[in-house]
A and B are shown apart, each in its own frame.
Chain A
Amino acid sequence: MNDSYKKLAKPYEIWLYIFALFPALVMFALIFLDTEGINLSEASLTFGNFSQLTESSTIIAFVNSLKFAFLSTLICAILGYFVAYRLFRSKFKNKFLILTILILPMWSNILLRIEALGNVMQPNNIITDILSKIGIHIGIDIKGTSVAVLIGLVFTYLPFMILPIYTALEKIDPSLEEASLDLGVTHLKTFWKVIFPLSIKGIVTGSIMVFLPCLSGFAIPEILGSGNIVLIGNVIDQFFRNMNYNIGALLALLILILILGAIFLVQKVDKEGETLL
């Protein structure tokens, strides 16, 4: 494209150097220091922070995070594909409308939403109260279990899976499908051999969008797990909360590097790269 547009990216590069790279370097330095917050005046050099990585709770929390993130991504992919496919097949073609309807729940504060969800996962809640007034007595008690956390994660981040898959499906040339059907291939086979492979890109993008927040989030496991389920996000949050920025930065950067590595790999596989949405 036109060269005169190149300069448009320059200010953003500088912006990123100032706001992303420079603080990342400071955070990196914090790993090797013993400081109070980010106050560098009384800093002393230490490698003691790294012993946090061998702490069994850190390792278990990390494994837990991977487990929950993987499972929720898988469930989101299955449910999300289904919804996206049905939407794609429906007569509803206003993409912006679909997008907004799916993302609208996120405009309410996440804490309020998760607490509301957590409330109805307990035996006595607002719904059972209303139902008991008309004589129905039912109630579930799953708060504090892994299932509760999974439900929370899946239904919070599902929109991020549906949208890219829908976009990918939309891009498929309809004549491809027609050709396949004209050649006598059944609907099911057409789906498997033509449509699904072409929409994998959407699944990959969606998976990244779901996996990442599940991996590093802490509010959902904290509330729905009744504080008994510890993910790496919770550990990071605890350390920052108690002013231990050194260990906090160590764990956070470790995750960042892992994620960037994964993105790098995805970019290697997906030649066009940057397919987020």
Chain B
Amino acid sequence: MAKSKIIVLLFTLIITITLISGCNSSNTLLLLNWGEYINDEVVEKFEDKYNCVVNISIADSNELFYSKIKSGTTVYDLVVPSDYMVQKMVENNLLEKLDFSKLPNYSQDNLLPGVKRISKLMNESSRNEIDYTQYFVPYFWGTWGLMYNKNKQGLEDSLNQYGWQAYFDRSLLPSGTTVGMYNSIMHSYAAVMCSENLPLNEEKDEYISLCYDKFKAMHFDEWGTDTMKKSIAAGNLDLAFVWTGDCLDMLYSTLDDGTPIDEVSFDIYIPEKTIAFMDNLVMTKNARHKDLAYQFINFMLETENAKENASVVGYCTPYVSSYNAIVGYEGEEQWDNDWKYAVSKYYPYYEDESLYKGTPLSFFSKKYMTDMTNMINNVKTS
């Protein structure tokens, strides 16, 4: 008796699962995104408006985006890779050329000068004369910087005086400064290239040995990722190379706790030469729901939606209209005023493109990546 009960139970279970997840209808948009990188409310608004389901999967690195798309285990409609990964995907013929006539909300003029500049840099670094702008719509963008602990005596001054040089030279820092490096091969490599004013996209063995020497001499206290911003805010770490958005994210949650803006214990120094990045909405070649995908991109381009979407993410919206809506806020709401303050301070607007800081990364050959991996491991194990 009991046995048949279990079998019945199992069957019910399987059927329930099928019912719950059996929704691969034509009205489902498959989006592959970074974690917590979209405002659920905006998504729900879109779902209501177009009577569809937006199915979001997440990944935490551009390389994982690539392997997910390449393996084809799921045919995603939209993906949000960064600049260099867009280049790689285009070159490997994974992306669909966008039909901008289906995106009435899109206009070149509505892009911030800084965004246009990154697109331009992407095209300039192209090895095959491809116009990448045909393939993507900017989603968010930002820079990297040196986040530091304001309570550490003398640290702010030495950063302002020496900039990058201070980050790689302990003698220029106040004694006892703890320094962290972002634990990502490409980003730590780029940090050295930026500090030495070298190109980010060339592969040379001497660059790798330069990195080795720099890392070795510096002997970083921590090779971390997201934990570093928390450590700096708590005073456990003094200086680290992180996303500017990371610092803002920390800033917003500190302000949420009721700390006045001038008592925040950390800040970020953005050097003249740094990494800039731009995440973009792109459509995969094999996308099954192209119309819905166009509607989605178009929806996200609407000023109000883009602004609402940016409110949950510490990065900068790429659209002029949304940007102006944020920095032009005139009201009493504390949160909106803090937001306005942070965006206008850390993502300032310049009419002149050349005033914007930052260079996008570019992808490297497999051999070069292996060499870099070994170089960093050699630093850590020696």
A248 to chain B, nearest CB (A): 11
State how many angstroms separate the Cβ of B70 from the closest Cβ of chain A.
6
Q: Which residues of A contact B67 (CB under 8 A)?
A: 37, 243
**Which residues of A (51-83) have their CB < 8 Å from a CB of B?**
52, 55-58, 60-61, 64
Give per-residue flags for A82-123: 1 if the beta carbon is below 8 A from chain B beta carbons, else 0.
Answer: 000000000000000000000000000000000100110011
* Distance A60 CA – B381 CA, assembled complex (angstroms): 7
B97-105, B348-356, B370-378 - interface stretch: B370-378
Q: Mark B71-82, 1 if CB is under 8 A from A, else 0.
A: 100000000000
Q: How far is the CB of B67 from chain A (nearest CB, A)?
A: 6
A144 pairs with B380, CB closer than 8 A: no
* Cα A195 to Cα B76 with chains together (Å): 60
State A124–B237 Cα separation when bound (angstroms): 10
User: A226 near B224 (CB under 8 angstroms)?
Assistant: yes
B235 contacts partner chain A, Cβ-Cβ < 8 Å? yes
8 Å CB contact of B227 from A60, A223, A235, A242: A223
Interface residues of B in 60-110 (CB under 8 A from A): 61, 63-64, 66-67, 70-71
CA distance A38 to B73 in the complex (A): 13
- Interface membership of chain B positions 39-76, coded 1 if the CB is closer than 8 angstroms to chain A and 0 otherwise: 00000000000000000000001011011001100000
Most buried by A among B71, B369, B370, B381: B381
Cβ of B231 within 8 Å of any chain A Cβ, yes or no, is yes
Q: Are A238 and B185 in contact (CB under 8 A)?
A: yes
Q: Is B369 a contact of A242 with CB atoms below 8 Å?
A: yes
Indicate whether B302 reaches chain A with its CB closer than 8 angstroms: no
Residues of chain B contacted by A39 (CB below 8 angstroms)? 70
User: For B37, what are the chain A residues with a Cβ–Cβ distance below 8 Å?
Assistant: none
Task: Tell yes or no: B132 within 8 A of A by CB.
Answer: no
Whether A193 is near chain B, meaning CB under 8 Å from some CB there, is no
| Chain B residues near A56 (CB-CB < 8 A) | 378, 381-382
B61 engages A230 (CB within 8 Å): no
Chain B interfacial residues counted at CB < 8 A: 30
- Known A239-B373, A242-B373: A124·B236 in contact at CB below 8 Å: yes
B234 CB within 8 Å of chain A: yes
Q: How distant is B78 from chain A, measured CB to nearest CB, in Å?
A: 22
B183 CB-CB contact with A under 8 Å: yes
**With contact pairs A60-B381, A230-B380, A241-B63 given, residues A38 and B71 touching in the complex (Cβ less than 8 Å):** yes
Contact indicator B63/A243 (Cβ below 8 Å): yes
Contact (Cβ within 8 A) A123 B366: no
Q: How far is the CA of A223 from the CA of B236 in the complex (A)?
A: 15
Cα A230 to Cα B223 in complex, Å, equals: 11
What residues of A have a CB within 8 angstroms of the CB of B373 in the complex?
235, 238-239, 242, 244
Residues of A within 8 A of B378 (CB): 55-57
Task: From the candidates B66, B374, B382, name the one contacting A243 in the complex (CB within 8 A).
Answer: B66
Which of A205-223 touch B at CB < 8 Å?
A: 222-223
- Contact check, B380 vs A241: say whether CB atoms are below 8 A apart: no
Contacting residue for A241 out of B61, B221, B222, B377, CB 8 A: B61
A36 touches B221 (CB 8 A): no
In angstroms, Cα B147 to Cα A1, docked, is: 68
Say whether B34 faces chain A, with CB atoms less than 8 Å apart: no
Answer yes or no: B339 CB below 8 A from chain A CBs: no
Supposing A57-B381, A235-B377 touch, asked if A226 and B185 sit within 8 A by C-beta, the answer is: no
Q: Give B66's nearest chain A residue, CB to CB.
A: A243
A24 to B381, CA, bound (A): 30
A239 proximity list for chain B (CB < 8 A)? 370, 373
Chain B 224-268: CB-based contact to A (< 8 A → 1; otherwise 0) = 100100110011100000000000000000000000000000000
A57 touches B380 (CB 8 A): yes
Most chain B Cβ neighbours within 10 Å, of A124, A228, A235: A228
Query: A55 CA to B372 CA in the complex, in Å?
Result: 12
Residues of A181-227 at the interface with B, using a CB-CB cut-off of 8 Å, are 222-223, 226-227
Given A226-B224, A227-B222, A241-B61: A122 and B377 interface contact (C-beta under 8 Å):
no
B341 within 8 A of A: no
Which residue of chain B lies nearest to A121 when distances are taken between CB atoms in the complex?
Answer: B236
Cα(A116)–Cα(B366), bound, Å: 35
Q: Known contacts A38-B71, A228-B223, A243-B63: does B377 contact A57 (CB below 8 Å)?
A: yes
B220 within 8 A of A: yes
Does residue A247 face the partner (Cβ distance < 8 Å to B)? yes
Q: Which residue of B lies closest to A229 (CB)?
A: B380
User: Roughly how many angstroms separate A229 CA and B223 CA in the complex, as a whole number?
Assistant: 10
Please report the C-alpha to C-alpha distance between residue A270 and residue B227 in the assembled complex, in whole angstroms.
Answer: 45
Q: Does A180 contact B (CB under 8 A)?
A: no
> In the complex the two chains form, is B380's CB within 8 Å of A227's CB?
yes
Q: How far is the CA of A60 from the CA of B64 in the complex (A)?
A: 28
Taking the nearest CB of chain B, how far is it from the CB of A128, in angstroms?
Answer: 10
Q: Cβ of A125 < 8 Å from any Cβ of B?
A: yes
Which of these, B66, B223, B235, contacts A226 with CB under 8 Å? B223
The answer on a CB contact under 8 Å between B222 and A122 is no
Q: How far is the CA of A243 from the CA of B381 in the complex (A)?
A: 23
Contacts of B223 in A (CB 8 A): 226-228
**Contacting pair B185 A230 (CB below 8 A):** no
Contact call B236/A123, Cβ cutoff below 8 A? yes
Residues of chain B within 8 A (CB-CB) of A229 are 380
Residues of B within 8 A of A235 (CB): 373, 377
Bound-complex Cα distance A57 to B185 (A): 15
> Contacts of A243 on B, CB cut-off 8 Å?
63, 66-67, 366, 369
Asked if B377 and A115 make an inter-chain contact with CB atoms under 8 angstroms apart, the answer reads no
Assess the B183–A64 pair: CB atoms within 8 A.
no
Q: Using a CB-CB cutoff of 8 Å, which residues 192-223 of chain B contact chain A?
A: 220-223
List A contacts of B224 (CB < 8 A): 226-227
Most buried by B among A118, A119, A122, A242: A242
Docked-complex contact B227 and A37, CB < 8 angstroms: no
What are some 16 contacts across the A-B interface (CB < 8 A)?
A36-B70, A37-B71, A39-B70, A55-B377, A55-B378, A118-B227, A119-B230, A123-B236, A124-B236, A227-B222, A230-B380, A238-B377, A239-B373, A241-B64, A243-B366, A243-B369
Closest 5 CB pairs of A and B: A227-B223, A57-B377, A60-B381, A226-B222, A122-B236
